[in-house]
Chains A and B, each alone.
Chain A
Amino acid sequence: GQQVMQIPQYQHVQEGEDFTTYCNSSTTLSNIQWYKQRPGGHPVFLIQLVKSGEVKKQKRLTFQFGEAKKNSSLHITATQTTDVGTYFCAGDGYNKLIFGAGTRLAVHP
């Protein structure tokens, strides 16, 4: 079945360093969504990418969708302690989302 892989599983950074998480699908995606889950909280929608090669920015966060629509990345510039949490990508399955396993980000002040 359709699978979405996400790496790395876990990343430690010093505050101010950059961070990137990568998402790869076994099949071509019609769109991809990104979510953030703070420790002890629930996932919150960040963005959806639809077009091949699409790049979207939200302040220090940059989201990319690959040309072949099989991979995506989330890059955070100059991390802050408020960026702590787990970032999930999710590919569009039939009437459902296929979530990656998530990348847990720890930021040390």
Chain B
Amino acid sequence: DGGITQSPKYLFRKEGQNVTLSCEQNLNHDAMYWYRQDPGQGLRLIYYSQIVNDFQKGDIAEGYSVSREKKESFPLTVTSAQKNPTAFYLCASSTTTGGIHEQYFGPGTRLTVT
């Protein structure tokens, strides 16, 4: 059963702690993405990666870090430097070949920092 998994679904942390969100895909996609969504808002791109061992900053990368050591995995770390980390985090992947590069999204992780 192919798809993208994100864990956990809900995550609670104290202010000042780093937290890592998991994203795994078995779709054999080269590209992976991290988005942040605030209530009633659109999707803002945090980081993206087109290939293993390479990634680029999106529009709101400050306070976040990523790694892409394996094709299947693209974990996101929310650091204590992120001023307002409470949000819904969505991971997505897509192929980079062929005509349609639709993005497949995971179920998301709701992070609450108090």
Q: A33-B102, A95-B31, A96-B58 are in contact. Are A43 and B43 (CB under 8 A)?
A: yes
Min CB distance A2 to B, Å, is 11
Summarize A's interface: helix, strand, loop or mixed.
strand
- List CB contacts (< 8 Å) of B96-114 with chain A: 96, 99-108
Segment at the B interface, from A14-22, A55-63, A73-81, A97-105: A97-105
Question: Is B50 part of the binding interface, using a Cβ–Cβ cutoff of 8 Å?
Answer: yes
Contact present for B103 and A97 (CB under 8 Å): yes
**Interface size class, chain B:** 20 to 34
A99→B33 contact, CB < 8 A:
no
Q: Is the CB of A101 within 8 A of B41?
A: yes
Residues of B within 8 A of A68 (CB): none
Q: Which residue of A lies closest to B35 (CB)?
A: A99
* Closest 4 pairs between A and B when the two form their complex, measured CB to CB: A101-B42, A45-B102, A42-B105, A99-B43
Interface of chain B residues 24 through 61 with chain A (CB within 8 A): 31, 33, 35, 40-43, 45, 48, 50, 56, 58
Given A101-B41, A104-B40, are A96 and B106 also a contact pair (CB < 8 Å)?
no
